[in-house]
Amino acid sequence: MAKYQYTAVDSNGKERKGNIEAGDEKEATNLLKQQGLFPISVNEIGTSSKKGGGQAAGAKGGAGFKFGAPKIGTKDLCTTTRQLATLLDAGLPLVRALRTLQRQAKGQNPALFKVMGNLADAVEGGATFSEALATNPRSFNKLFVSMVRAGEASGAMEVVLSRLAEFMEKAQRIAGKVKSAMVYPISVLAIAGAITAGLMIFIIPKFSKMFEEMLPGETLPGITIFVINASHALKNNAVGFAIGAFVGIFVFKLLLKTKVGAYVFDTFVLKTPPFNSLIIKNISARFSRTLGTLMASGVAVLQALQIVKDTAGNELVARAIQSVHDAVKEGEGMTKPLEKSKVFPLMLCSMVEVGEETGALPDMLNRVADVYEEEVDRAVEGLTSLIEPIMICFLAVVVGTIVIALFAPLVKMIDKLGG
């Protein structure tokens, strides 16, 4: 018996490393598979690498991936999933469908070409499709892998992939609308900030010097003194302000990576108008659509809730979903912990209660998702129309303050020259 060092991926896509005793590499690979692991590399200790994540792995153990597989973009993933569902529905075997998508991506999308090739190699080597997907968590998250695994168990892979494609397309559309609504105000603020900084650093100091020469001993208006002082502070400490801003952003991002920091920030965002209403509707739509899609595809409710929690993207929402998960695990319903969290709207809680009572929870969740997605669309349109006049007023105040600060002394200078 020889001792082998292995690197493998479990059913959740997490990397596992360790040692195992076996007669040869093939036996070691089979033993790992029996433990529910998908081997990436199996090397005999004390020898050079004999089996890696390349072609040998694909041939022997089905591990056609290297762990550092490229990431497929969200848009490409949506399109590819839809195309794969269509090919399978047309009767093509899985490997042939994957090879077709690989050929289609050749020379156009290197990342997609490599990932499709790796998937096909892994499946040809004996791995299931969900096992192959789990080795590339950068492209295929837990939700994707779990739904495919449910599709494998039910024998309705093309149906599950169609649901996945529809889910991702709707999520992408909603995210796109929210992002597009934020582009205008962020762009305006960035341009206004750049113009204001330029005026404060380069233009106002020249006016300040002119006022000192033309109005010696004169008391300038308060607003002019304020703007000139701000200009001097910005000009003399520009590097310090830039470093401070950079450090502040860096520290803020570090804090957001901690559970406490993320919880505090997410709580603030969900409680602060005017964007909290839109964010809550978007969260409700995403929760309902994700959970409904998973359950409709045959994923067990506890596993589905865990996946929804892991993909929530909001610490406050994740904690609320964890409380629902714990309640369901104890044999209780979902409604009470949802209401107790005070994160989700009452309508969603009521619809979940009806779904539990009628035994049609997946269908009810998808209906709720439809409602909230429409509300998000309307809210984004309303917010966009509201933001435009607010931004105009903001710019008017900023520019108006600077103009008044500069022209008030100019009027005094003109009067003095005229006298």
pLDDT tens for each residue of 293-339: 889 888 889 988 988 998 888 899 999 999 999 999 998 999 999 99
The two tokens of residue 138 are 């950068």
Residue pLDDT, tens place only, 55-78: 333 333 444 444 456 889 888 999
Cβ contact 161:84 at 8 Å? yes
End-of-domain residue from the set 147, 168, 189: 168
Indicate if 257 and 333 belong to the same structural domain.
yes
Does residue 175 lie within any of the structural domains?
Answer: no
Asked if residue 345 lies in contact with residue 371, where contact means CB atoms within 8 angstroms, the answer is no
Average pLDDT for the chain: 85
The predicted-structure confidence for 362-409, as pLDDT tens digits, reads as follows 999 999 999 998 998 888 888 878 887 888 888 888 888 888 988 888
Asked if residue 65 belongs to a domain, the reply is no
Domain span at 95: 74-168
Domain finish residue from 113, 133, 168? 168
Instruction: Give the DSSP letter of residue 23.
Output: S
The pLDDT of residue 150 is 85
Number of domains comprising the chain: 3
Q: Let me know whether 83 and 220 are in one domain.
A: no
CATH number of 381's domain: 1.20.81.30
**Which tokens in the block code for residue 293?**
């899609």
- Please tell me the predicted confidence (pLDDT) of residue 318: 92
Beta carbons within 10 angstroms of residue 320's beta carbon: 22
pLDDT, mean of residues 251-279: 90
pLDDT tens column, 204-226 = 999 888 888 887 877 888 899 99
| Neighbouring-strand partners of residue 17 | 7
**Claim to verify: residue 234 and residue 273 sit in the same structural domain:** yes
Of 412 and 220, more confident = 220
* pLDDT class of 53 with cuts at 50, 70, 90: very low
Q: Does 173 reside within a domain?
A: no
The answer to whether residues 245 and 390 belong to one domain is: yes
Residue 7 has pLDDT above 60, yes or no: yes
Same domain, 138 and 258: no
Are 353 and 411 in a shared domain? Answer: yes
In a domain, 68, yes or no: no
Residue 255 lies in a domain: yes
CA 42/CA 5 separation, integer angstroms: 6
User: Is 97 part of a structural domain of the chain?
Assistant: yes
Shared domain check, 301 and 245:
yes
390 touches 274 (CB < 8 A): no
In a domain, 19, yes or no: yes
Query: pTM above the 0.85 mark?
Result: no
Note the pLDDT of residue 258: 92
Does residue 241 register a pLDDT over 90?
no
Question: Would 362 be classed as within a structural domain?
Answer: yes
The angle, 0 to 180 degrees and rounded to 10, between the axes of the packed helices 110-124 and 94-105 is 160
- In angstroms, the CA 116 to CA 134 distance is 13
Claim to verify: residue 409 and residue 329 sit in the same structural domain: yes
| 358 and 212 both lie in a single domain | yes
Out of 128, 145, 168, a domain closes at 168
Are 139 and 19 members of one domain? no
Q: First vs last Cα of the chain: how many Å apart?
A: 108
The better pLDDT of the pair 113, 181 is held by: 113
Do 237 and 275 fall within a single domain?
A: yes
Q: Could you give phi then psi for residue 43, rounded to 5 degrees?
A: -125, 135
Spatial distance between the Cα atoms of 257 and 14, rounded to a whole number of angstroms = 20
Residues 163 and 246 in one domain: no
Taking only the tens place, the pLDDT of each residue in 285-295 is 989 999 998 89
Range 231-250 average pLDDT = 90
| pLDDT higher than threshold 90 for residue 186 | no
Choice among 66-80, 152-166, 268-282 with the minimum mean pLDDT: 66-80
